[in-house]
Amino acid sequence: MQELLRVMRTIDDRIVHELNTTIPTASFVGKIDAGQTCKELYQSLMDAHTSRERIIKNCIAQTSSVVKTLREEREKAQDDLALLKQLRKEQTKV
């Protein structure tokens, strides 16, 4: 999960480089449509953010489900320290 998020952050981490290569210098102003290029960069950023948000929300939902199940099990077996440790670990993930 963390590796996937790291890869998905690449465009954000390289935003200065992306902006520098997107906005044309004075010598290229007539050759490149800066407006269109900026729109494409913006769309790329929005797509990355939407995708990352979807993955994060999915992870939260799955982990919350595991926490709920572990809480129910914990109520039945309150003396189970391994179960308590696992529950706390999953709660930390959320």
What per-residue confidence (pLDDT) applies to 91? 92
Q: What is the pTM of this model?
A: 0.66
CA 84 to CA 90: how far, in whole Å?
10
Q: Name the average pLDDT for the chain.
A: 84
Q: State how far Cα 71 lies from the chain centre.
A: 27
Q: What confidence tens digit (pLDDT) does each residue in 6-25 have? A: 777 887 788 888 777 777 66
Domain count within the chain: 1
DSSP E strand boundaries for the chain: none
CA dihedral 8, 10, 15, 21 (to 10 degrees): -120
